[in-house]
Amino acid sequence: MTAVESTTARSLTYVEAIKEAITQSMREDPSIFLAGEDVALYGGVFGTSRGLLAEFGPERVVDTPISESGLVGMGVGAAATGLRPIIEIMFMDFIGVCMDEIVNQAAKMKYMFGGSARLPLTIRTMAGGGMNMAAQHSQSLEAWLCHVPGLKVVMPSGAYEAKGLLVAAIRDDNPVIVIEQKLMLGRPAEVPEELYEIELGKAHVVKPGSNFTIVALGRMVSESLKAAEVLSADGLDVEVIDPRTLQPLDTATIVDSLKKTHRAVVVHEAVRFGGLGAEIAAQMQEEGFDYLDAPVGRVGAPFAPVPFSPALEREYIPNADKIVAEVRRILGKQV
C-alpha cells in the first residue's frame, strides 16, 4: 500500500512509528530479520524493537556481539543469499567501524556482478546531537554515505516519514541507509495504521510558499517551519521542502520551487563544510541558475566536534533563529 492509498491515521511517536514499520514488515515477509546490538532482550537502546523478540523469536530478532564490521558483513551475506535483513548500527558515529562492508561490499556487489546480484539490505542508524552524548555519539555523517554510488540514503523528518520510508527501504532490492534522529524519538505525528511506503527519491513540499525556498534535512524541517512562521512577519511566504531521500536526490522538485521563489537556503544539522547542503546548493545553481536572484545560502553546524556541554551543544546545533538570520542576510544583500 502506498502513502496515497493509506486512510486510517492516528497519532504515533517517531519511535513507535519505527517499531510499527519493522513489526508489520516482519509479519508480512518471513524473510525479514532484525539484527544488532541490544535489539532483542533489551528492545533496542532507543526502544525501537521492544516486544519484537517475544513475537518473532531469537532467529528473527538477533542480539549480536559488539562488532559493527561483523554485523554489516553478516547482513551483506544474508541479503545476497535470499534474506531481507534489517541491520541496526546503534549510533551513526559507529559506521566508521564498518565502512569497508558498507562502501566496498554492500554498495559495489550488484555492480560487480553485472546487475545479477540482489542486495535487499536495510541499515538503520541514529544520528544527531542534542542529548549531551558528546563527540563520538552525536554526529550527522550522511554526506559520507551519499557520496557512494550503490547506496540509497533516507532521512525521515517525522513519525509519518519514519514509517513510510523505512517500509520502502525494507522492500527495496538495494542497500538503503535509514538515518533516524535522536531528538525526534518522542515527537508525535499522524501515522496511518496500514502498512504503507513513501516513494524513495521523491521530495515533499511540506509548506508551499511563493517568495523564498528552504530545503531542510531531517529534524531541520521542523526548525525551518518555525523559521517560516517568524519570517512571515517580514512579509515572506516561505516554501519548505523535505527531500526525504538524500540519495537519489529529487532536484526537480527543488528547482520547480526556485522558479517561483528565486531565493533559497539549505539547512542540515551536519557540519556545514563539505555537508550535503553544498551538493544541493551546487545542483540548484547548475539546474536553476536562471531562476536565482541571489546565491543559495547554507545553514549547518560549525567545523568542530559536537560539544558535550549542554550550553555549547545548544549553540552548536542549527535552529530556527539561525535559519531566520541566514534568510535575512540573503535578503539584505538584495536591498
Interatomic CA distance for residues 146 and 103, integer angstroms: 11
What pLDDT digit, counting tens, does each position of 94-145 carry? 999 999 999 999 999 999 999 999 999 999 999 999 999 999 999 999 999 9
| The two domains 9-192 and 204-332 share their CATH topology (first three levels equal) | yes
What pLDDT digit, counting tens, does each position of 171-220 carry? 999 999 999 999 999 999 999 999 999 999 999 999 999 999 999 999 99
Q: What is the pLDDT of residue 36?
A: 98
Q: What is the pLDDT of residue 1?
A: 53
On the question of pLDDT at 335 being above 50, the answer is no
On the question of pLDDT at 4 being above 90, the answer is no
Higher pLDDT, residue 333 or 252: 252
Q: What is the pLDDT of residue 5?
A: 47
**Bond into 302 cis (ω within 30):** no
What pLDDT digit, counting tens, does each position of 225-281 carry? 999 999 999 999 999 999 999 999 999 999 999 999 999 999 999 999 999 999 999
Would strands 188-192 and 84-89 be described as parallel, antiparallel, or unpaired? unpaired
What pLDDT digit, counting tens, does each position of 289-329 carry? 999 999 999 999 999 999 999 999 999 999 999 999 999 99
Choosing from 68, 101, 223, 313, which is the catalytic residue? Answer: 68
pLDDT band at 333 (very low <50, low <70, confident <90, very high): low
Sequence-ordered list of residues with C-beta below 8 angstroms from that of 6, at least 6 positions apart, any chain: 192, 194, 196
Can you give the residue ranges of every domain in the chain?
A: 9-192, 204-332
List the CATH code of the domain at 204-332: 3.40.50.920
Topology annotation, domain 9-192: Rossmann fold (3.40.50)
Choosing from 16, 137, 204, 313, which is the catalytic residue? Answer: 137
Residue 204 catalytic?
Answer: no
Interatomic CA distance for residues 88 and 21, integer angstroms: 14
pLDDT, mean of residues 139-154: 98
pLDDT band at 150 (very low <50, low <70, confident <90, very high): very high
Interatomic CA distance for residues 3 and 103, integer angstroms: 31
User: pLDDT exceeding 70 applies to what percent of the chain?
Assistant: 97
Bridge partner residues of 32 (DSSP):
84
Residue 268 catalytic?
Answer: no
On the question of pLDDT at 3 being above 90, the answer is no
Q: Which residue bears the cell 545479477?
A: 116
Total-model pTM: 0.95
Q: What is the pLDDT of residue 128?
A: 97
pLDDT band at 9 (very low <50, low <70, confident <90, very high): confident
CA distances (Å), 96 to each of 38, 144, 182, 191, 279, in order? Answer: 19, 10, 19, 33, 22
Q: Indicate the average pLDDT of the chain.
A: 96
Interatomic CA distance for residues 101 and 87, integer angstroms: 12
What pLDDT digit, counting tens, does each position of 13-55 carry? 999 999 999 999 999 999 999 999 999 999 999 999 999 999 9
On the question of pLDDT at 334 being above 90, the answer is no
